[in-house]
Structure 1
Amino acid sequence: MARKVYGISGMHCASCAAIIEKRLTAIEGVRHAEVNFATEKATVELDSRAPSLDSINDRLRPLGYLLLDETHDQGAAESETAHQATPKEREEAKELRKNRNTVRLALPSAILMVALMLYGMLFRPLPHTLYNPLAMILATIILFGPGRTFLRGVASFLRYGAATMDTLVGLGTATAYGYSAAITLFPPVRDFLGAGTHTYFDTTIIVIGFVLSGKYLESRSKTRTGETIEKLIGLQTKSALLVRDGKETLVDVSEVRRGSLLRVKPGAVIPVDGIIAAGDGTIDESAVSGEPVPVDKGPGDSVTGGTINRRGSFTFTAMQVGSKTMLSRIIAMVEEAQGSRAPIQNLADRVAAVFVPVVLVLALLDLLLWLTLGTRFMGFTEALPLALNSFIAILVIACPCALGLATPTAIIVGVGRGAENGILIRNAEALEKLAVADTVVFDKTGTVTTGRPAVTDIVALDTGTAASRILQLAASVERLSEHPLAGAIVEAAERDGTELLECSQFRSEEGLGVSALVEGREVRVRKPTAGESARPEAAALLEEGKTVAVLEREGRAIAILALADTIKENARSAVEALKRQGIQTVMITGDRAETAEHIAREAGIDTVISGVLPAGKAERIANLQQEGRTVAMVGDGINDAPALAVADAGIAMATGTDIAIAAAGVTILKGDVGKVPLAIGLSRATLRVVKRNLFWAFFYNILAIPLAGGAFYPIFGLLLHPALAGTAMAGSSLSVVASSLWLKRMKIG
């Protein structure tokens, strides 16, 4: 079964999305279809019986919609760096230009009619014998020119039964125009109806002008929600400096292959992922990882495509090219997440799907009530204009666009802001689940800790020997050893700037230790004896789960060195931030209880679950869930993958394995555990914005429809003019988009 993502042309409201979904799923061979109004994309699952894209479009074209193939050409697909406009982007640009041109005609006409209305209210209206013909000419131009899109919506409804926002506006403005034209061109009709000379040409012009202006502003605002993708795409470079036979040649990045040797000069963008072969540089990785401080790198270090070399020059071997680079995978993940549907959106989608038909029924019922009950109280002549006013106002104001935009716009901005901070959210469901997590479970090794042993304590048994001297002697011997703990001792010495001494007659005793002659005297680093382990100094270190080594010189023990996996620099601050968010913290590990308890105390973690086999981690997560907790699991290894999948929300460290990343809904670049509370804060902020958007979208429609229908007229004399209804309808959608954009500046974490 194939899964494809298409751009969509012709969508104008949330009801359009519902219609397209319904039509797509009715096609044989289409297993499932999901349409996102905010991103204007359709995710379609196709089986072997699926028709071609042209055949699918033959079903959608009569309704005014088209699916656009988003597939890049082969060269772009290979490089994924030379960004070319997709069919959808070209269609969007064309549609935006078209909307701008129609607004330039319709909006000035609408403003002119508003000015004439105000002039008539404040001073004296123009004579109807002059005003009505002029208004009719202008209304005809506007309705059958810029307003054609709404008339097509009416025609589509009558022919196919597909009702959208365009249908509502089209019926409203056409009704206003038809009634006004009838009483203007045919006085006997006016006399028969007992109607006055007042017309609704101004309503037709103003509604079309304001609705089209609102659509144009909404389209422009929606493009701002996807700025993150554009920024990420902007990081991609089109060329690379290829080194071949000692010569440097500037080539298109699509020509770069795995194993190619590339040169990066100061200020240049690194074209693909790779490993530095020679030279060094200071790399600005902020755009990809969110880390503001540039990183010094040299031979053997990895570099990421899209990052910038601020200083130095180096050559590197390309390891990942095209769609396999980290930046391309980030772009793909962000695009997929922004186009996904959050569970909370289902309610809004169900409402939007039936909203337009319900509004049509309500508008017709309201019209009949005014013409029947209203006539009894005020007479037909007075009730008729009120009935038409209410009918048109209901059709115009009852736009489900705000409902359709409430969730996806917030998701787009939230996911984008996460990507800017090195937090990749796989889909909207993961974001929503993370927002309600009340317990965070950390794997220990590689997540809370660095995953590498380090020297933590140096205890001198000989008071005359300084710690720096102890480290110098131990590292000088261990430099020749291949044991993992030896590397930690040497690294500690190098970090302190200790000069290592020459040694000879190096010997390694399997399972016991190493020895060598240093400055002519035998120096040995070995395991402690039972008696040495019982000494208070060593016993305290062993109780903390640390590994202890004894430094011996000329057969006499002079020092104890303790080594352990240490907690990450910001692990404690991350745990404290989680507690401020009201979240319980748990650490799960296969290590001994002593080691786990010590690490947990250092990090400030509430609960420790130790001695757990890899297969048991998922079971422990399930146990926490059975206690009523909503669990987010943070891990990085293959053994964490089942637990990440079982947890309500999985957070993978990108320094870990691809399997762990694949199992998680959220990935944190650089393995920065400090971004876990930031991810939760972002998800909570996004969900708050979604709920606020949905509240105001529902509240707006619940209040606006009765007001437009004249429910408050008998008591308060309030009646909504259709022109104001058109403005309010556009304003509601813009307010939802503006609310979502506020996430860009909102404080999180």
Structure 2
Amino acid sequence: MSAADILSQTATPGPRTVEIDIEGMTCASCVARVERKLGKLDGVSASVNLPLESAVVTVPAGISNQQILDTVKATGYSATLKHDAGSRPATNPHPGATREGSGADANPESAAQEHKAHGGTAATLLPLLVTAAILTIPVFLFSMFTALQFPHWGWVVGILTLPVVTWAAWPFHRAAAINARHFSSTMDTLVSIGVSAAFLFSAVTLAMDPMLTAHGSAMEGHAPLYFEVSAVVVTFLLLGRYLEAKAKAKAGDALKALLELGAKEATVLRNGIEVKIPAAELAVDEIFVVRPGEKIPTDGVVTDGSSAVDTSLITGESVPVDVSVGEPVTGATINTSGRLLIRATRVGSETTLAQMGKLVSTAQAGKAPIARLADRISAVFVPVVLIIAVVTFGLWLLFSLPVISSAELQSAFTAAVAVLIIACPCALGLATPVGLLTGTGRAAQLGILIKGPQVLEDTRTVDTIVLDKTGTVTEGKLSVVDVVPLTQVPAADVLRLAGAVESHSEHPIAHAIAAHAADAGTLPEVTDFTSSPGGGVRAGIEGRAVLAGRAGWLEENHVVLTAEAKSALIDQQQRGTTAIWVAVDGEAVGLIALKDTIKAGSEAAISRLKELGLRPILLTGDNMAVALQVAAAVGIAAEDVHAEVLPEGKVAAVAQLQADGATVAMAGDGVNDAAALAQADLGIAMGSGTDVAIEAADLTVMGNDLGQVATAIALSRKTLGTIKTNLFWAFFYNAIGIPVAALGLLNPMIAGGAMAASSVLVVANSLRLRRFGR
């Protein structure tokens, strides 16, 4: 699809999600204005992210991408298309959505210039900051220390200040002018007006009284000039914005590092010859070679060889995973030992790494409910501040009546300028998105994907966690320990038939039975295979109808279970095994007994979940005897065990807990967990599970360790706590600073420094999340 096609797209089957880059935003007011303007388009909703300088826009059919871009530009900012996700519904974005080309802006050079004018990157700000600092130092010294003053020093100071308030402060003035053209205002409006007012007041004062500083240091008191206020405020604000730009770039390092993990080259086999190609050119089903020490370039299945694969880059787990023929591998992981031949199964945007990047990016671009408060305030904040500044100036003069002296006029002016400068809502605009950016980035480094900012709010209120047993608390790698024949059918035939029918199922139990049976001999062909999640499987084998599964599944298929057969089942359950029925032509012919092992870290993980205030509940389709043994081993109370639960029963169990007043999280990894994950207030998918489980979840743990679930909840709560701290201090700063300035108790220079410092402190507080778990 060409850029022109993307831009003109209007005929879409339903709502779609469009991501755009927006250049020129500087504060929360900018964010609120863009969202408000886009929201006026019929059916359009937008979430704008300040530190990422991007927006995720939900667009209905009939609205083109060009209309979205034009609306943003009409608001006063530069907008370019990041990618169009028209192929995926807006309500359930697919994590592997393809990125289309950008270049939607008709004038990239103009866009870059506008971005620079609005503040831009640390590199574009540095020359302005250095120039302002060099000129501001003498301005400040000459103005504040009478010992350094000389005849007509005011004119020298004014001339030195002029480049600072014009060229160095140009980002503020240009942004203010653009906003004024659209009858709106932002923090740049406050800065531009405050700095310009201080300079012009001083210039007019000096022009009206050329002899004001003619006597140098012999002059008594401080001359009514505020050149140093203009220069120092601009320098402080440029310093703050420069530090912000560097810190915001650092906050996004985790996502950038994640996206750069992939291998750059791949060695493919073509006509028996090894050929090196860029990894991006790999095609599905192509065979490629990975030698020891090399990164696996894309997701695939091993076709030859065996090795141990270091998956720490993706899962956060340090122990290498053994792989052999037929087992899946993930792109960006490292082959540590043997030579592998791998068939590519996913390439480009469909790979696990690309999906991780997409999920992290989507989460960072979203907006937590807590951020809406800041947005509502910022929408009216700047106009209110302008009014407060005017009222402050007026009241100072009013209280000076009937005679207004020059000193009182200076005091009124100083108070009004201090109000304008101290009120700039930079910290308010950065409080939520920078915290979210850093927290989700750190989570990605730990192998944890947070699907959206709403998840942070959910983790705060969760008090109960439902844990699926197989694959979550236990290894999920069952092994056959016994085959119990119930009729004249030999145990070997029971195993052979069970292995054949289970070989077409994705369930861990089925894999274990099929693998064990295959080791014992060749499996027969299977026809008419059907599966019932949580029940069992059925197929035609050698002209016979073979079933394998739970007792209820057999009974649904009219298989009668004798008293002797049920006694054999009870005997296996008391031994702590999981027993699967095998029936042939309507008769139960045997039991396959399997046993699972508890994951090494499950007990410690459940203990940590309890420390986080969560009540763990074990939910399983297995029998009660096995479930109770597992629960006792990991520290879950017997009354919190729900066994022999079907998939629909898992949903009902979660719903019942919610009806009883619990806020429920659930961790699971299989197809039969997907519905319950969606039902839970917080769904947590174990990354070793199926795509459908991951898609249904709010949090995804890329590894197999239950301890990562506890880490995910702890980090989410820590991120939310950081955001709340940021918002508190941002609100507190403005709430205290404005009245102090209005009362004339705050020098404009100190106000400028404090405003810049508040933004840097908010970002620095957020960056502490990068050390989480270290």
Name the TM-score, length of structure 2 as normaliser: 0.79
Distance 1:130 1:160, change over 3 A: same
Alpha-carbon deviation of 1:297?
2.5
Q: Confirm or deny that 1:227 pairs with 2:249.
A: no
Q: Confirm or deny that 1:163 pairs with 2:179.
A: no
Deviations along 1:215-265, one digit per CA (max 9) or x if unpaired, are 111011011111111111221233211111111111122321111111112
Q: Confirm or deny: 8 A CA contact 1:243 1:263 kept in the other structure.
A: yes
Structure 1 range deviating more: 623-632 or 111-120: 111-120
Distance 1:443 1:317, change over 3 A: same
3-state SS of 1:262 partner: strand
Gapped runs of 5+ residues in structure 1? Answer: 459-473, 495-499, 503-507, 514-526, 550-559, 714-718
Match of 2:552 in 1: none
Counterpart of 1:307 (choices 312, 330, 333) is: 333
3-state SS of 2:44 partner: strand
Alpha-carbon deviation of 1:425?
0.9
Q: Which has the larger radius of gyration?
A: 1
Alpha-carbon deviation of 1:185?
1.5
Distance 1:441 1:512, change over 3 A: closer
Match of 1:586 in 2: 617
Q: Confirm or deny: 8 A CA contact 1:109 1:209 kept in the other structure.
A: no
Alpha-carbon deviation of 1:671?
3.2
Deviations along 1:440-497, one digit per CA (max 9) or x if unpaired, are 0112233223334336799xxxxxxxxxxxxxxx999979984879996999999xxx
Distance 1:45 1:155, change over 3 A: same
Name the amino acid aligned to 2:450.
I
Q: Distance in 1 between matches of 2:644 and 2:547?
A: 26
3-state SS of 1:738 partner: helix
Q: Confirm or deny that 1:67 pairs with 2:82.
A: no
Match of 2:667 in 1: 634
Structure 1 range deviating more: 578-587 or 329-338: 578-587
Match of 1:42 in 2: 55
3-state SS of 1:178 partner: helix
Name the amino acid aligned to 1:160.
H
Match of 1:433 in 2: 458
3-state SS of 1:671 partner: coil
Counterpart of 1:334 (choices 360, 363, 381) is: 360
Q: Distance in 2 between matches of 1:693 and 1:407?
A: 7
Match of 1:730 in 2: 756
Distance 1:23 1:305, change over 3 A: same
Name the amino acid aligned to 1:542.
Q
Gapped runs of 5+ residues in structure 2? Answer: 1-14, 86-94, 213-220, 484-490, 503-508, 522-541, 549-560, 581-590
3-state SS of 1:181 partner: helix
Name the amino acid aligned to 2:258.
L
Q: Confirm or deny that 1:665 pairs with 2:665.
A: no
Q: Distance in 2 between matches of 1:729 and 1:629?
A: 43
Q: Distance in 1 between matches of 2:152 and 2:516?
A: 94
Match of 1:126 in 2: 149
Structure 1 range deviating more: 406-415 or 538-547: 538-547
Deviations along 1:549-604, one digit per CA (max 9) or x if unpaired, are 9xxxxxxxxxx996433333322222111112221011223333333333322232
Name the amino acid aligned to 2:617.
V
Counterpart of 1:206 (choices 221, 232, 255) is: 232
Q: Confirm or deny: 8 A CA contact 1:445 1:451 kept in the other structure.
A: yes
Distance 1:313 1:72, change over 3 A: farther
Q: Confirm or deny: 8 A CA contact 2:304 2:341 kept in the other structure.
A: yes
Q: Confirm or deny: 8 A CA contact 1:262 1:318 kept in the other structure.
A: yes
Name the amino acid aligned to 1:543.
Q
Q: Confirm or deny: 8 A CA contact 2:678 2:697 kept in the other structure.
A: yes
Q: Confirm or deny: 8 A CA contact 2:136 2:161 kept in the other structure.
A: no
Q: Distance in 2 between matches of 1:272 and 1:730?
A: 45
Name the amino acid aligned to 1:382.
A
Distance 1:297 1:747, change over 3 A: closer
Counterpart of 1:13 (choices 24, 27, 32) is: 27
Q: Distance in 1 between matches of 2:314 and 2:510?
A: 34
Distance 1:17 1:416, change over 3 A: same
Match of 1:519 in 2: none
Alpha-carbon deviation of 1:501?
12
Structure 1 range deviating more: 109-118 or 237-246: 109-118
3-state SS of 1:132 partner: helix
Q: Confirm or deny that 1:97 pairs with 2:112.
A: no
Aligned length: 678
Name the amino acid aligned to 1:177.
F
Counterpart of 1:450 (choices 456, 475, 479) is: 475
Counterpart of 2:199 (choices 174, 177, 187) is: 177
Name the amino acid aligned to 2:53.
E
Q: Confirm or deny: 8 A CA contact 2:578 2:626 kept in the other structure.
A: no
Match of 1:150 in 2: 172
Deviations along 1:103-154, one digit per CA (max 9) or x if unpaired, are 121122223323334533xxx2514x52221122122222221212222344
3-state SS of 1:741 partner: helix
Q: Confirm or deny that 1:703 pairs with 2:726.
A: no
Q: Distance in 1 between matches of 2:475 and 2:44?
A: 45
Name the amino acid aligned to 2:418.
A
Q: Distance in 2 between matches of 1:569 and 1:4?
A: 44
Match of 1:644 in 2: 677
Superposed CA RMSD: 4.0
Q: Distance in 2 between matches of 1:487 and 1:358?
A: 66
3-state SS of 2:336 partner: strand
Q: Distance in 2 between matches of 1:487 and 1:32?
A: 46
The percentage of aligned residue pairs carrying the same residue is: 38
